[in-house]
Structure 1
Amino acid sequence: MKQTTTDNSAAIGVFDSGVGGLSIAKCIAQQLPHENIIYIADSRHAPYGEKSVDFIIQRVNTMAKLLLAKGVKALVIACNTATVNAIEQLRAQVNIPIIGVEPAIKPAAKQSISKKIAILATQATSENQRFKDLIDRHHNGAQIFIQPCPGLVEFIEQGQQHSPACNALLRQYIEPLVKQGIDTLVLGCTHYPFIQQQISVIAGQQVNIIETAAPVTQQLMKKLAENNLTAGKTQQGQTQFFSSLATKQQEQIFSQLWQAPLTLQPLKE
């Protein structure tokens, strides 16, 4: 799978199990307006959060191969579950920069005054050893509450994130954490920024919410610069969108989350 490109006008490949990674891709597009982006959603298999490790690794490698075939110069795994389960083995196979997404435990531990932090995550992330090791390294003496959130990703994938049922599920997950006295809440899945407003209302003003789009974009900028892959200023970046489940309904959900009309192309595996 190894591939190296020295073409700084080549696209950045971004992929996720579904629409969640759009929160990362949007930040990249805003911060790096001269970069081309190819976004792939593996929506036929979303969410990864309830899948086996072997299955996640197989899908991550398939998505990476498809993006490498399109000549991308860097890969962003815009999915927490895919990052913790599959990034190390992918880095061993690929030469181009690979940036993953990890919950922002380190900044949360620095900021927290009550030293009580909660992380909202998928089932697969919450059970992953790499994720647990990350907490052990960066908790800085804080008490960490890990809250698996089955069902949330599905609501967002179906465009039902503002439904009463989604709000009821959020309350079920967040209210017990607030009662524990948390003052910082980490969004440990790239889908969750799309429900950040609802999370904030339930958690209350005293709880600081941290997500990962900005630090991931910063890391990408750093890696592009280190490898002389930053796009020239004359180029106006374009974003292409692909999905393994490209329906009209999904195209509407993509457009709604991207906050602009877009064309969703079918992914040919």
Structure 2
Amino acid sequence: MKIALMDSGIGLLAAAAAVRRLRPDAELVLSSDPGSMPWGPRTPEDITALALDVARAAAAHRPDALIVACNTASVHALPALRAELEPALPVIGTVPAIKPAAAGGGSVAIWATPATTGSPYQRGLIGDFGGTAEVTEVPCPGLADALEHGDEAGIDRAVAAAAALTPRDVRAVVLGCTHYELVAARIRDAVQRPDGPPLALHGSAGAVAAQALRRIGADPAPGAEPSAGLTVLQAGRPAALPGAALTYAEGRLLAAAVPTR
């Protein structure tokens, strides 16, 4: 079994680690193009072109499924990716987990990139799935870039700034960028109020990993013997797992499980 994941940068680590936990015997292909980051401020046409290039590089390795582990690419490029690659290659997009976060009502915050915050796409999801919840959109300028480069001080500043914009009575936070899941615990610590309700964080990594397995008719087997490799591609060329990836638990999990090639 071979599962490919694509993103602009290392935001794909959370979903890749989720796949690894569900199927440690699956071979992974991680395809990205960090030199073209950030994708958010680009036009939909540019994002689609970049996403197609990254996806084609992954598809050349003949995976059984492709996870688009990027909210921005899923918003703008998913139809084009599916039109080109399916049905031969199942393509699984990433959608912010607004529906489960809003299910309990109350105060919900969506942390996302400035380009996504307030976008028609996100507003549409809130309208469709927000229910009775009071949803606050929280822009997180600089957070994805800081995470991409392992910039600890930059991460701290961006998380603190976003936490200051988050309602004090928030019950749930939706992590609306795949990069953010890499520091979920730090986000929880910054937002959880000592006198507030227990905070729930809602990412997408586990859901997209499970959906990828469903699309190819595979069952989870977390006890399987690790026996496959990890292929890393940057701009279509073989590369090592970026050094910044190893600053996160998900990156260390992938690096430790099997040899990288």
Shorter-chain-normalised TM-score: which range? Answer: 0.7 to 0.9
| Rounded Cα–Cα distance in structure 2 between residues aligned with 1:177 and 1:188 | 14
Work out whether residues 54 and 236 of structure 2, in 8 Å CA contact, stay in contact via their aligned partners in 1: no
Correspondence 1:169 to 2:162: no
| Rounded Cα–Cα distance in structure 1 between residues aligned with 2:136 and 2:243 | 35
Deviations 1:17-56 (A, max 9, x none): 1011111101101111121110012111122122221111
- 2:184 maps to 196
Report matched runs for 1:45-60 at 5 Å: 45-60=36-51
How has the CA–CA distance of structure 1 residues 65 and 184 changed in structure 2, closer, same or farther, with 3 Å as cutoff?
same
Work out whether residues 43 and 245 of structure 1, in 8 Å CA contact, stay in contact via their aligned partners in 2: no
- 1:259 maps to 252
Deviation at 1:110, TM superposition (A): 1.1
Letter of the structure 1 residue corresponding to residue 126 of structure 2: I
Listed as ranges, the gaps of 5+ residues in structure 2 are none
Listed as ranges, the gaps of 5+ residues in structure 1 are 1-8
Deviations 1:82-128 (A, max 9, x none): 1111112221222221111111001101134xx21110111232254
How has the CA–CA distance of structure 1 residues 70 and 15 changed in structure 2, closer, same or farther, with 3 Å as cutoff?
same
Letter of the structure 2 residue corresponding to residue 107 of structure 1: P
Q: Normalised by the size of structure 2, how large is the TM-score?
A: 0.85
Alignment RMSD (CA, Å): 2.7
Correspondence 1:224 to 2:221: no
- 1:110 maps to 103
Work out whether residues 50 and 122 of structure 1, in 8 Å CA contact, stay in contact via their aligned partners in 2: no
Q: Normalised by the size of structure 1, how large is the TM-score?
A: 0.82
| Rounded Cα–Cα distance in structure 1 between residues aligned with 2:122 and 2:164 | 23
How has the CA–CA distance of structure 1 residues 128 and 94 changed in structure 2, closer, same or farther, with 3 Å as cutoff?
farther
- 1:61 maps to 52
- 2:27 maps to 36
- Count the aligned residue pairs: 247
How has the CA–CA distance of structure 1 residues 148 and 249 changed in structure 2, closer, same or farther, with 3 Å as cutoff?
farther
Runs of 4+ in 1 over 4 A off after TM superposition: 245-250, 260-265
